[in-house]
Amino acid sequence: MTDTDRSLTTTSEETGEPRPPVAARLPLPGDGHMWVMVLGDLLIFGAYFVIFMVHRAMAPREFLAAQQHLNLDLGTANTLILLTSSWFVARGVHAMRAGSYDRALRLIYSGAALGVLFIGVKAYEWSAGAGAGHTLNSGEFFTFYYMLTGIHLSHVALGLLILGIVVRELRDPRRRRIAVAESGAIYWHMVDLLWIVIFALLYVLR
């Protein structure tokens, strides 16, 4: 047994026998149902991404030409907005674990506010694109574009609702269940991860 193993191993007060290392007994953060929901969403989006790549491989010039009409600056801005939002939410959970509930509340509010900003930027981008004639029926690329970003936007909206539940937990001293905050953060990080893949596929991939 290494020194590290000895430092992680504890002894049972009742039997005097060594317990498993603490790291091996730590449960997953959040609620198990949230993990099932997240994994299910990842599988569904994964299928969408594969279908997109197959269709892109079948018409690379058409997809590349259509891609040039997307606003890379707005896509990048929204990526930074959502990454920063996830950072605020993660720090909020950390503050809640430390018992700093007021700070946790401010951080979760900040993360949610950036989520609302993300929706605003995406709505503006959609409006500008439609105004330029790039609509859902403007070719296969834009069909995928509006479908993927639209489904993702619905997940952002649901994520904001879940963060609202976390805020309710933080505001009520009788609640403040860390598992609820962790579950909210898990879902919000999934939303962030999905957007990074969508951004890479739609805006960056050449």
CA distances from 192 to 40, 63, 87, 166, 186 (A): 16, 24, 10, 18, 10
pLDDT of amino acid 27: 67
Helix, strand, coil % in the chain, rounded to nearest 5: 80, 0, 20
Instruction: Identify the CA nearest to 152 among candidates 55, 52, 31.
Output: 52
pLDDT band at 105 (very low <50, low <70, confident <90, very high): very high
- Cβ burial of 139 (10 Å; 0-12, 13-18, 19+) is middle
What is the average pLDDT across 114-132? 96
Q: Which domain holds residue 3?
A: 1-28
Span of 15-19, 60-64, 102-106, 119-123 with lowest mean pLDDT: 15-19
Whether residues 127 and 72 share a domain: the answer is: yes
Q: Give the lowest-confidence range in 17-31, 88-102, 144-158.
A: 17-31
- Average pLDDT (28-42) is 84
Q: Is the model's pLDDT at 84 over the cut of 50?
A: yes
Is the pLDDT confidence value at 18 over 50?
no
> Which among 158, 185, 160 is positioned nearest to 28, based on CA atoms?
185
What's the CATH code of the domain at 51?
1.20.120.80
Confidence of residue 196 (pLDDT cuts 50, 70, 90): very high
Does residue 18 sit in the same domain as residue 61?
A: no
- Report the predicted TM-score, pTM, of the whole model to 2 decimal places: 0.83
Q: Which pLDDT does position 60 carry in this prediction?
A: 93
Distance between CA atoms of residues 90 and 136, nearest Å: 35
Same domain as 35, residue 19: no
Q: Are 83 and 132 part of one and the same domain?
A: yes
Give the E-state strand segments of the chain in sequence order.
none
The answer on 8 and 108 residing in a single domain is no
The two three-digit tokens of residue 41, written as one number = 């969403």
Measured distance CA(13)–CA(18) in Å, rounded? 9
Q: Are 20 and 91 contained in the same domain?
A: no
Longest dimension (CA), the chain: 74
Average pLDDT over residues 70-82: 96
Integer CA distances (angstroms), 72 to 53, 129, 158, in order:
20, 12, 25
Judged against a pLDDT cut of 60, whether residue 5 lies above it is answered with: no
* 100/124 same-domain check: yes
Total of domains in the chain? 2
* Residue 12 pLDDT exceeds 60: no
Model pLDDT, residue 32: 75
DSSP letter (8 states) at residue 118: H
